[in-house]
Amino acid sequence: MQSIAFVCEQYLVIFFSLALGIKLYVFSTFVTKVTWSEQYIYGIICGFVSAAVIFLPFLFIRKHKNKLATILAFIISLLLLVDTVYYSYFSSVPTIGLLSSLGQTKDIGPAIIDLIHWFYVFYFTDVVIVIIFHKSIKSFVLRIKDRLKIKQTKNRTTWIAVMITLIAFWITLLPTGLNTLADVFNKGYDTVSTSQYYGLLMAHAIDITRFIRQETTHLSASQEKALSDWVNNNKPVQASTFLTGSAKGKNVILIQIESLGGFVVNQKINGKEITPNINKLSKNSQFFPNDRFLYGAGHTSDTDFVINSSYFPLYDAAVFVRYGQDNFSSLPKTLISNGYSAFAYHGFNRNFWNRNVALKSMGYQKFYAADNYSKGTTINMGLNDGDFLSKTADYIKEQPKPSLSYVITLSSHVPFAVTNETKDLGVNISDYPDQVGGYLEDINYTDRMLGKFFDKLKAEGLYDGSLIILYGDHTPVLPAFSAGTVKYDPESVQQLEVPLIIKAPNQTTGETHNNQGTHLDIMPTVLDLLGIKTTELMFGQSLFANSDKALKICSDQLPVFSGPGDCNSILTNEKNMSATIIRYNQFKNITK
């Protein structure tokens, strides 16, 4: 009878706890889409337990208990909605470290709005039910109490103590419990993995705890020395290759193409090449069709970071936003110390992802953003690539030589809208899944504008005499589809691969290199071709290093320094070292 009394008194708290557990189950099953495994089961259980824990304090409250529980349930539903929409766009779970970059969302608002679906109202179902039917439910519960002649329980504390003991016992004794949890706190895993293993609410709690600890702790002198010693003992020697110095003293033009996936290169639709100019460049250059991009919480800005530093991005924070004022070691700084000038170009808001600050910290002498270009037609997110690239060619011509030019395109950004300017392939948008047709038209448009950009560089004498590196920042977020000769499956390795093309000065014949390279390798490869040596730590290696000099490659195409032990363990350690250097701004200390 006491059990029934307890349920009658706490009916709303119990209802919200169970409802939240179900919503967390739905998030893991249908949003992050984990596969059935011990990890999945553990994460689901953690979800229900964390739901019980978060509503546990309401068992001690008598006054306004139900109102407060309803408000909390609504707030958590909003959090789940934010997590779901964010995951749909970025394929990751947001972290507290990204609060400083919330201002960025207004610029991608239209794309995010398109990701909000009507069925997300599911997250608020429990709150709606309570608001509409609470009087009826309360009346029903009172009738049960009256019929069974149940009085208010006096041993409520006993029930609460039992629940807390069971939860503590469960957490302590599960074989994958505390030891793994300690690793999560101390070493850190990406937010998606943490949410799958410990449930979404626990993932947020772990993230907040880590954030507070990171912001309130500093490396001691002995820790700084240990880090410096690790770097000195593990830093790979820059390998000399058969191409070392082949572009010595030449201009460098890095071209970062928004959402360029490898699956569209050398493919056709309606009998037309989707990327004819990129195809031509790939045949006359060193072509790496399976290059792996890396990003964490900073997404495209993480590509900016990795390309320019050869460091790993962070899983829980945008490096450019949280640590944009670090004393980065970087490609532009190294080139400037060897007589180069260095400039960055992007046809969008200069403060987006804190690029204005971070690119300066990287060493770029000037960042040309939207306010440096004449106002033109906006395509998707920023200035159209035609106007942007044309004016950028003019700027590159004016810079002191030799120069490093970092060019970031934007017209092939979500939401992949089709305009009269972009529509050239003749794709019928309705024939393909959401956004696919728009993407194909937009990436074709960017390719056409690249062709004009190359023509202008040639006319100015800047094409043949420059080292040109072209690559995708990341793949687009698209469903599976078939179009012409293109077949894309987001569940396959295609989701991880972007093309990387390296055209040496005056190069006219090409070579294809399969299954080799990541974005970490671009900086050391550029330095190799320029014949420039550096003592800075780089986590990548020249793509042209002989196999006996190249870094060991893990199965996921990420390099690791030489050393005994499991490849993935070594890689995890290197990511942690990279993160420590970034978080504590140790770039100068490790080169002393």
- Count Cβ atoms within 10 A of the Cβ of residue 426 and give its class: 0-12 exposed, 13-18 middle, 19 or more buried: exposed
* Residue 53 DSSP class: H
Is the pLDDT higher at 6 or at 178? 6
Which residues of 139-270 form beta strands (DSSP E)? 251-257, 268-269
Whether 505 shows a pLDDT value over 80: the answer reads yes
Judge whether residue 143 has pLDDT over 50: yes
Nearest to 291 by CA among 501, 444, 491, 468: 501
Chain-wide mean pLDDT for the chain? Answer: 86
Q: What single DSSP character describes residue 60?
A: G
Query: d(Cα 318, Cα 302) in Å, to the nearest integer?
Result: 7
User: For residue 452, is pLDDT > 90?
Assistant: yes
Q: What is the pLDDT of residue 178?
A: 46
User: Quick one: CA dihedral 109, 111, 113, 116, positive or negative?
Assistant: negative
Burial (CB count within 10 angstroms: exposed 0-12, middle 13-18, buried 19+), residue 464: middle
One-letter-per-residue 3-state SS of 275-326: CHHHHHHHHCCEEEEEEECCCCCCCHHHHHHHHHHCCCCCCCCCHHHHCCCC
Instruction: Say which range, 49-53, 88-92, 93-97, has the weakest mean pLDDT.
Output: 88-92
Q: What is the β-pairing status of strands 403-408 and 268-269?
A: unpaired
pLDDT digit string, tens, across residues 516-553: 789 999 999 999 999 999 999 999 999 998 776 667 77
The whole-number average pLDDT for the span 333-353 is: 95
The predicted pLDDT at position 175 comes to 42
CA distance 431 to 433: 7
Contact between residue 239 and residue 550 where contact means Cβ atoms under 8 Å apart: yes
∠ at Cα 89 (85, 95), nearest 5°? 70
Q: Please state the rounded mean pLDDT for residues 556-562.
A: 71
Identity of the highest mean pLDDT range in 192-196, 248-252, 558-562: 248-252
Q: Look up residue 219 and give its amino acid.
A: L
Average the pLDDT over 223-238 and give the result: 89
Q: Which residues face 256 on adjacent strands? A: 408, 471
Task: For residue 47, give the nearest of 71, 73, 13, 20 by alpha carbon.
Answer: 20
Give me the residue spans of the domains in the chain.
2-215, 230-591
Q: What is the reported pLDDT for 381?
A: 84
* Higher per-residue confidence, 375 vs 443: 443
Q: Out of 3.40.720.10, 2.60.120.380, 3.40.50.300, 3.40.1390.10, which CATH number does the structure's domain 230-591 have? A: 3.40.720.10
Q: pLDDT digits over 177-192, tens only?
A: 444 555 566 555 567 7
Q: Which residue bears the tokens 């671009």?
A: 522
Distance from C-alpha of 540 to C-alpha of 523, rounded to nearest angstrom: 8
Pick the range with the lowest mean pLDDT from 31-40, 278-287, 502-511. Answer: 31-40
Question: Of 120, 340, 232, 174, which Cα lies nearest the Cα of 590?
Answer: 232
Longest CA–CA span in the chain (Å) reads: 94
- Return the pLDDT at 332: 98
Percent of the chain with pLDDT over 70: 83
Pairing of strands 341-346, 403-408: parallel
| Nearest Cα residue to 467 out of 534, 532, 404 | 404
Name the range with the highest mean pLDDT among 41-45, 167-171, 216-220, 449-453. 449-453
Over range 437-459, report the average pLDDT. Answer: 97
In degrees rounded to 5, what are phi and psi of residue 565? 110, 175
Between helix 156-173 and helix 38-55 the angle, nearest 10°, is 150
Q: What is d(CA 324, CA 326) in angstroms, rounded to the nearest whole number? A: 6
413-446 pLDDT, tens digit per residue, is 998 999 999 999 988 888 888 899 999 999 999 9
Q: How crowded is residue 428: how many other Cβ atoms within 10 Å of its Cβ?
A: 8
Distances (CA, A) of 83 to 112, 197, 201, 320: 12, 16, 11, 22
H/E segment holding residue 466: strand 466-472
User: Beta-carbon neighbour count of residue 170 at 10 Å?
Assistant: 13
SS3 label, residue 464: coil
Q: Which letter does DSSP use for residue 518 in this model? A: B
In 108-175, where does DSSP find H-type helix?
A: 109-113, 125-148, 156-173
Helix (H, G, I), strand (E, B) or coil at 364: coil
Determine the average pLDDT of the residues in 257-284: 96
408 neighbors 369 (Cβ within 8 angstroms): no
The neighbour count for residue 60, using CB atoms within 10 Å, is 10
Q: In this model, does residue 156 exceed pLDDT 70?
A: no
The terminus-to-terminus CA distance of the chain in angstroms comes to 73
Question: What pLDDT is recorded for position 562?
Answer: 61
Q: What is the mean pLDDT of residues 309-334?
A: 92
